[in-house]
Amino acid sequence: MADPLDCDASAVRGALSRRKFLTAAAQGASVLAVPSLTGCLAPRPAKRVLTSDLSVPAPFQASLPLLPRLRPKPSPDGISRVALTAGPGSVSIFANSPTAVRAYNGIFPGPIIEVDTAQRLLLLLTNRLSDPIVNHLHGGRTPASSDGFPMDLIVPMTPLTISPDLSQVGTAGKGDGWQVFDYPNQQRATMLWYHDHRMDHTGSQVWGGLAGVYILRDEEERALKLPSEDRELVLVIADRSFDSQAQLKYPVTQDGMLDEQYMGGVLGDVILVNGVPWPSHRVATGRYRLRLLNASNARDYTLELDRTMPIGYQFTQIGSDGGLLQKPIHRRKINLAPGERIDLLVDFRGCPLGMPIRLLNTRESGVMGHIMQFIPTQSVAEAATLPDTLSALDLPTPSAGMVERTFDFKYNRLKKIWTVNGLAYDPNRIDAKPRLNSTEIWHLRTDFTHPLHLHLVHFGVLQHGGKPTAADMGWKDTVSMVAGETSTIIIPFKGFTGRYVFHCHNLEHEDMRMMANFEVVA
């Protein structure tokens, strides 16, 4: 259905696709174009599967890789330090044909960085790739200069430069081909993730491999004695597509920009978990903690466990984007949108040895209807208990006088861009100025599936489609919305002043302008 607001005179005058603008600008031409009004009837672009050019690997052949963990200890000055290099890497997805990736420390996903809350960490990131990068810690309460603003590029390091001696570095900083990020980690324990955030190119950069997990721990969580070490599985789920040479394929035009046909969102036809297709993992007949991240560009998953599980084929959800829930909740079906994380317990007690238990994606059928499988191979006896109360949430409640704002996330059919309150992203425009230490209420409205994410903060979801839903329990930093929905969130602006972004985490929507700035002011 055409929306009259998309077709008013000013929209017609201003209408020009970004691509045409760039091409015209590159040719030095003056930019003039009058689109026809039939543009108003152009449908909103749907997500689109990018089909691989070779036959996709058979599921359940590869074993699940456990991602390496970096656990930096504090130096005598009280600061922990860790170095990452973004550079070319290669992964093994197809037999006999390595796949080139853009990787952190040579691997995809990148290594897990693990520290305690309130343990300040300096991260040195060096760029050994051939194009600029931007690094963002998703879910982190980070000073603005270390947050990875989309224009905050780390250019490729020139060959003779070397990065600084990290042990001598005491603050955030930046130089030729490197940046030091300051992560104070003054926030709840949870699973965050770091990923590329380069203006216009986040979709291709993350698809190319620039994503990794970051875990914050604390005493409250340790006291719960949750399954740990080999019973705590970090699972990074990401769909991808491949060309005939087993290389990652992503739809860009010659100028390196996203092909407009895919601006609804790029879907892959291979599901990777920790970088391998539909893996298999051997488990003991006990309790596991599964910490999932949806690192896909645009794909949502509906997670369910096989009905073949004899007992408790439900998940016990213990945490969400912003850490532990107040109480565990039992869920049979979980939607996980791009950018979201979820913390689950799964109990394999009573499962017959040798019989695979599949983690399904029930929004699809066939091979895409699967994510991975667990095979119980070792029987153990254990009495596992979980307290009724996991954590004190201290979620804020609405009160009179709180500032309220409304944001509309929708497609503009004439300009062929995704907008926030009718506007395309402009890095220089500030769209909201919340006060530091104030709490605001934001009303979000969407025309399509949009996982909406705010930097710096975590928020509570007051209503989603008219009521609170299980999917929005606890503290969130990404709220997954479907077409026509409204949601109301309550946001304490704590930590830092400065400029941050909020955007749709469908990375193609983000690159096609569905992003805005807020500036926290003193």
Which parts of this chain interact with ligand C2O (CB under 6 A)? 136, 138, 195, 197, 339, 453, 455, 501, 503, 505
Residue nearer to ligand C2O on the CB measure, 334 or 501: 501
Contacted by 506, from Cu ion, ligand C2O, none: CB < 5 to 8 Å by type = Cu ion
Task: Identify which of 273, 140, 129, 122 has the alpha carbon closest to the alpha carbon of residue 210.
Answer: 129
Compute the least distance from the CB of residue 166 to ligand C2O, in Å.
Answer: 25
Compute the least distance from the CB of residue 197 to ligand C2O, in Å.
Answer: 6
Alpha-carbon span 289 to 432, nearest angstrom: 38
- C-beta of residue 308 within 8 angstroms of C-beta of residue 354: no
Contacted by 358, from Cu ion, ligand C2O, none: CB < 5 to 8 Å by type = none
Contacted by 141, from ligand C2O, Cu ion, none: CB < 5 to 8 Å by type = none
Q: How far, in whole angstroms, is CA 427 from its chain's centroid?
A: 21
Q: How far, in whole angstroms, is CA 23 from its chain's centroid?
A: 31
Contacted by 509, from ligand C2O, Cu ion, none: CB < 5 to 8 Å by type = Cu ion
Alpha-carbon span 175 to 127, nearest angstrom: 11
Residue nearer to ligand C2O on the CB measure, 136 or 458: 136
φ/ψ (deg, to 5) at 439: -120, 130
Structure tokens at 52: 């691989």
Compute the least distance from the CB of residue 7 to Cu ion, in Å.
Answer: 21
Contacted by 450, from Cu ion, ligand C2O, none: CB < 5 to 8 Å by type = Cu ion
Compute the least distance from the CB of residue 455 to Cu ion, in Å.
Answer: 5
Residue nearer to ligand C2O on the CB measure, 240 or 413: 240
Alpha-carbon span 250 to 259, nearest angstrom: 9
Alpha-carbon span 411 to 405, nearest angstrom: 20
- C-beta of residue 360 within 8 angstroms of C-beta of residue 305: yes
Residue nearer to Cu ion on the CB measure, 136 or 287: 136
Question: What DSSP state is assigned to residue 467?
Answer: B
Residue nearer to ligand C2O on the CB measure, 373 or 446: 446
| Contacting positions for Cu ion (CB under 5 A) | 138, 450, 455, 504, 506, 509
Residue nearer to Cu ion on the CB measure, 317 or 506: 506
Residue nearer to ligand C2O on the CB measure, 197 or 509: 197
φ/ψ (deg, to 5) at 281: -140, 130
Contacted by 18, from Cu ion, ligand C2O, none: CB < 5 to 8 Å by type = none
Compute the least distance from the CB of residue 419 to ligand C2O, in Å.
Answer: 17
Compute the least distance from the CB of residue 395 to Cu ion, in Å.
Answer: 20
Contacted by 339, from ligand C2O, Cu ion, none: CB < 5 to 8 Å by type = ligand C2O
Beta-ladder partners of 467: 464
Structure tokens at 345: 């317990």
Contacts of 383 (CB under 8 A, 6+ apart): none
Question: Beta strand pairing status for 69-70 and 110-116?
Answer: parallel
Neighbours of 483 (CB within 10 A): 11
Contacted by 504, from Cu ion, ligand C2O, none: CB < 5 to 8 Å by type = Cu ion
Residue nearer to ligand C2O on the CB measure, 249 or 505: 505
Q: Which residue is nearest to ligand C2O (CB)?
A: 138
DSSP H helical ranges for 38-191: none
Compute the least distance from the CB of residue 434 to ligand C2O, in Å.
Answer: 17
Compute the least distance from the CB of residue 193 to ligand C2O, in Å.
Answer: 7
Task: Identify which of 507, 498, 521 has the alpha carbon closest to the alpha carbon of residue 478.
Answer: 507
Neighbours of 102 (CB within 10 A): 24
Contacted by 197, from ligand C2O, Cu ion, none: CB < 5 to 8 Å by type = ligand C2O
Contacted by 195, from ligand C2O, Cu ion, none: CB < 5 to 8 Å by type = ligand C2O
Residue nearer to Cu ion on the CB measure, 250 or 411: 411
Alpha-carbon span 240 to 274, nearest angstrom: 12
Compute the least distance from the CB of residue 506 to ligand C2O, in Å.
Answer: 11
Beta-ladder partners of 491: 440
Compute the least distance from the CB of residue 519 to ligand C2O, in Å.
Answer: 16
Rg of the Cα atoms in the chain = 23
- C-beta of residue 464 within 8 angstroms of C-beta of residue 450: no
Residue nearer to ligand C2O on the CB measure, 205 or 280: 205
